[in-house]
Structure 1
């Protein structure tokens, strides 16, 4: 099979996995497992897998106080805060709202790059930030009504999740240039696992797991294996060969897949209002993302 076709298949599968996660996670939360208990299952499982994988494949060590401190901050922003806010927000709000709001990650990355890395922000990108933020704010404001499928507090948590993940992408960049990706990911998941356990251990111990139907076990397995492990490995491989425009296209595909799946399985309703807010968000992110630099592919960490 042609290498370019393999790259397309890998990125499409990543978008499909992430798009499915919004609706699949809603099947589990909060009836079977609370959002924080689900995070402990996912993060601890990923930390064990990537830790073993890293030791077998690279055996690389992170050296120096500065790099180790940066890893800790990456674990806080990229795993702990990111996951706690994402699942808590998704537990409250609608899958479509969460998927659309997560598209602003490139906008957040640009803002933090300008603040922390002193990168120049032109007029076009400022306009993009304003347009995307307007769409996001309208979507959140619209979630206040009783007849809407969203939830204002859930939407705000998703925004906080996107902000935390955007900061992580900026913080992790220097580490990725010095160490292998699997080394960094194994360390940040270890830090994240230590941090999320205090928040989620009660919800982890509460359910009667023996009463879970097979479908719920399959959903949990999907979130651990597919969303965390398979998607990361496919994403890492594909980004070695993908050009920036291709990566950008698949970033936009993720919420589209999430919307189609959520509507298809009856987990949410796509309204004209949400469609108009989505256009504003997409337009703003497009203006921000029109750059020669490679766009960050959202990985929920």
Structure 2
């Protein structure tokens, strides 16, 4: 198999893993475990894995007060708030709403880059922001109506998750340019684990694990091993060889896979109304990403 096919295979697997996560996580929450309990299991497991990998393979430390403070902020935004917002929101809203709202991450990155890095925002990007935000607003607004599969609070938590992750991508860039990726990820997962444990420890202790059917154990294992570890390793490897536009195309494939999976397993319905809002969001993100390919390099 040549390198090009390997890269496409790795990126598609990552998109499939993330797209599947929306429906698989809904199978566990809240019937078997609360969302914050899942976060503790996932983040602590990842912190241990990447911590051991960093010490045995990389053997590098983040030095200096400024870099350590930045790493702490990355742990807060990229892991703690990001995960608490995502699983808390997904527990309340529908998989399709969550997947569509997550597409606005490049918009959030652009906004924070303009504020923190003072990057120039042209009229095309402004138009993209307006389009994507309009679609996101309409999707959230209609979730408050009766009989809709979405949830207003859940959608807002997903937006908080996207905003936090967008800020993280801006904050982590200098660290990724200075240190090995595993060094940075090990530190931010450790910081995130310290923060999320108080939120979810009680939910970890409450369930009767002996009553869990095999499919729930497989779902939890999928979220820990595939979503957290395998997806990150494959994505990191693929980024070494893939150009930004290719990575971006696979990022936008994630919500499409999430929609197909959610409908096929009967966990959500895709209405014409959602399709129109999705079109606004995708059009806006396209306008922004067309001239900002570096977003997908993070």
Q: Which category describes the TM-score, using the shorter chain as reference length? A: over 0.9
Displacement of 1:292: 5.4
Matches within 5 A, 1:254-293: 254-291=254-291, 293=293
Q: Which runs of 5+ in 1 are unaligned?
A: none
Match of 2:35 in 1: 35
Per-residue deviation, 1:275:
0.3
Residue 32 of structure 1: SS of its match in structure 2? coil
Q: Contact (CA 8 Å) 1:96, 1:270: kept in 2 or not?
A: yes
- Aligned pair count? 298
Aligned counterparts of 2:115 and 2:224: Cα–Cα separation in 1? 34
Distance of 1:84 and 1:25 partners within structure 2: 13
Matching residue of 1:165: 165
- Separation of aligned partners in 1, 2:178 and 2:291: 24
| Partner residue in 2 for 1:184 | 184
What stretches of structure 2 of length at least 5 have no aligned partner?
Answer: none
CA contact (8 A) 1:35 1:88 kept: yes
2:9 alignment partner in structure 1: 9
| Residue aligning to 2:105 | 105
In structure 2, how many angstroms separate the alpha carbons of the residues matched to 1:97 and 1:297? 25
> Equivalent residue of 1:80, what SS?
helix
- Does the Cα contact within 8 Å between 2:245 and 2:293 map onto a contact in 1? no
Asked if the contact 1:169–1:296 (Cα under 8 Å) also holds between the matched residues in 2, the reply is no
1:194 is aligned to 194
Which residue matches 2:61? 61
C-alpha distance in 1, partners of 2:31/2:293?
Answer: 43
Show the 5 A alignment for 1:83-102.
83-102=83-102
SS, match of residue 60 in structure 1: coil
Mapped contact 2:245–2:296 kept (Cα < 8 A): no
Distance 1:91 1:97 in 2: 12
Q: Does 1:215 align with 2:215?
A: yes
Give distance in 2, aligned partners of 1:50 and 1:297: 21
**How far off is 1:297 after superposition?**
6.7
TM-score by length of structure 2 reads 0.99
- In the TM superposition, residue 294 of structure 1 has moved relative to its aligned partner by 2.5
Q: For the residues of structure 1 that align with 2:297 and 2:95, how far apart are their CA atoms?
A: 19
- Per-residue CA deviation, residues 221-280 of structure 1 (Å, 9 max, x unaligned), is 000000000000000000111111101111110000000000000000000000000000
* CA shift digits 1:125-166 (9 cap, x unpaired): 000000000000000011011111000100000000000000
What secondary structure sits across from 1:18 in the alignment?
A: helix
1:230 aligns to what?
230
- Choose 138-147 or 18-27, whichever is displaced more: 138-147
1:52-88, CA deviations, whole angstroms, 9 ceiling, x for partnerless residues? 0111110001000000000000000000000000000
Divergent runs of 4+, >4 A: none
Q: Which moved more, 1:226-235 or 1:246-255?
A: 246-255
SS at 1:155's partner residue? helix
CA contact (8 A) 1:60 1:183 kept: yes
RMSD between aligned alpha carbons?
Answer: 0.9
1:123 matched residue in structure 2: 123
Would you say the 8 A contact 2:22–2:90 is kept in 1? Answer: yes
Q: Distance in 2 between matches of 1:85 and 1:107?
A: 18
User: Does residue 165 of structure 2 align to residue 142 of structure 1?
Assistant: no
